[in-house]
Chain A
Amino acid sequence: MQQPRYRIETAVEATRIFAFAGIGLVVVLVLLPFFAGRGLVQDLIFVFYMLALAQLWNLLAGYAGLVSVGQQAFVGLGGYMLFAFTVYGGIDPLLAIVLAGVVAFLLAFPTALVVFRLRGAYFAIGTWVVAEVYRLVFAQVKPLGGGTGTSLSVGVINGLFGIDFLREVFGLRTSLARDMVMYWTALALAVGTVLVVYFLLRSRRGLGLAAIRDSEVAAESVGVDSFRTKLWVYVLTAGITGMVGALIYLQTARISPDAAFSVLQWTAYVIFIVVIGGIGTIEGPIVGVLIFYLLQNYLAGFGTWYLILLGALAIVIMLFAPSGIWGYVSARFNLVLFPLRRRLVRLNTEKVDSGE
């Protein structure tokens, strides 16, 4: 009796090499603040949290088809929760970041209840309106600074977990130690987000998500619960977005409703990063954030012209390389750094039976 048997394979050879290179890169980044100047460290904090936001928006829009322009709702919420927990709860800021994420995750459920009733463009507008409601609500909260905002006291920031340790062991100044702790937190959030997105997409739920993206009707017809899958993606991204928001406002140490719920800063730039890098891939936002960083660094001085240039660049890419820079490169060189394909491999039964 010969029963052919099959197996599923995911990784490809090139990917293992990349995985090692990736681990090496992360190690270098972890050690970097011991060598690099303070300016670079602060710049990289910015790169890390923009990368995390871009990955999350990409998961939402590029994979789940939920084109939100209201993710600033959860950035701002996370930021305000950090202030509330540290100033009034006396909680360590690092723990407060996690709690801010939990609050954002929980509030995403009632938010979803509202916006999930809308489809397509109406969904996008709905998320924006909801973010505005969040902004107006926080502008009313006097203990958190009302409409003008408030600052974190130096005491709160310098109480950050790990600062004393760095000062004593390495003899660093407080300000330097503070930057390092924030740098590592931002790095952990960015790398963590990439890994969460990657393993989510490799999971069964990720397979369902890919099916929904191609045909929601057919996905439902073979047993995929599209509502639950999308809801899950929405609340998960909201939770992590809240954590990123908390970190951002721990670093700036000052919050106001207009900045925290800024659609330009937390959604438009993020969309730009994803679109130029390549929507619907994990590599895309990584490429996009590096380009965005370079542009911001060298051109931000041009003010309005800088924004016009960003917009023009995004339009050019959408017209001529709709899958973004990464999409172009990966098609050209057949390159995949985060493999998601499941290959069916036929096993040679005789070989298996002869035993090894």
Chain B
Amino acid sequence: MPDRPGLSDSRMVLEIAGLSKSFGSVRAADNILLAVREGEALGIIGPNGAGKSSLFNLITGDLVPDAGEIRLNGRDVTRMPPHRRCKLGIARSYQIPHPFENLTVFENLLVGAAFGQDKHERDVADLCGQVLERTGLLHRANIPAGSLTLLERKRLELARALATGPQVLLLDEIAGGLTEAEIADLVATIREINASGTTIVWIEHVVAALLAVVTRLIVLNFGSKIAEGEPQAVMNSKEVRDIYTGIEA
């Protein structure tokens, strides 16, 4: 462990600089600069098509940027394939769930745990069981993931990502469609994960849920970061009000 001069100087897990990606004339990421501190919970908001999911895809390696750099714990991962970034500690949920449909719920987690942590299957049974308990999927453990409801699939996305034992967890809209009570549950779960040391980056349209967890918020629009800072302050800022009144109107 390197010496830490002080708490305020806590390490950066994720550093992004000059990151750009275009699809034809659409700019999904436009010169993005962003650093995520170890252990923090960062929220991302922005209108539809702002480039939020694209940013995740660039961080995980599902997309290769046109320009810019991504560092994980100081190490350049910009050109690394997704599976290697996962082994280095990045895990994600997909906005549109991608379960392994022909595998059971438990086997979905088993893939994450055995590959993400490079361990033998029998050594991760306990871990998978605990993640299933924590995410409320234990009673579904041995049924095919293809037979889950949409909400359960979203929970499976979270569970499978957790099973990889991530250092940074990227969550892409997992609260949509939940009831008040379910949101309260989810918020408690994510707080707990964060409290146990996992860094969280959370994209969410359900702002109330997001604000209950994150300590910092950024706003994306047309692929650019247009605001950043303390969540309440950002929510009250002119930039955000402009966008959201623009949408609501």
Contacts and interface: CB of A to CB of B under 8 A. Distances in A.
Interface stretch (B6-14, B84-92, B173-181): B84-92
A350 to B, nearest CB: 17
Interface stretch (A49-57, A205-213, A253-261, A268-276): A205-213
Interface stretch (A3-11, A29-37, A79-87): A3-11
B111 A344 contact: no
A138 B86 CA distance: 45
- Size category of the A interface is 20 to 34
A204 B119 CA distance: 9
A221 interface: yes
B121 A207 contact: yes
A342 B110 CA distance: 9
Interface residues of B, number: 45
A103 interface: no
B111 A217 contact: no
B83 A225 contact: yes
Contact of B125 (A210, A221, A222, A344): A344
A7 B122 CA distance: 7
A230 B111 CA distance: 16
B164 interface: yes
B98 A217 contact: yes
B103 A210 contact: yes
Interface string B99-111: 1111110111011
Contacts of A215: 98-100
Given A211-B103, A214-B102, A6 B86 contact: no
A84 B117 CA distance: 46
A186 to B, nearest CB: 32
Given A214-B99, A220-B83, A221-B92, 9 more contacts: A4-B133, A214-B100, A218-B99, A219-B111, A220-B62, A222-B83, A223-B83, A224-B111, A344-B106
Interface of A: 4-8, 204, 207-208, 210-211, 213-215, 217-227, 341-344, 346
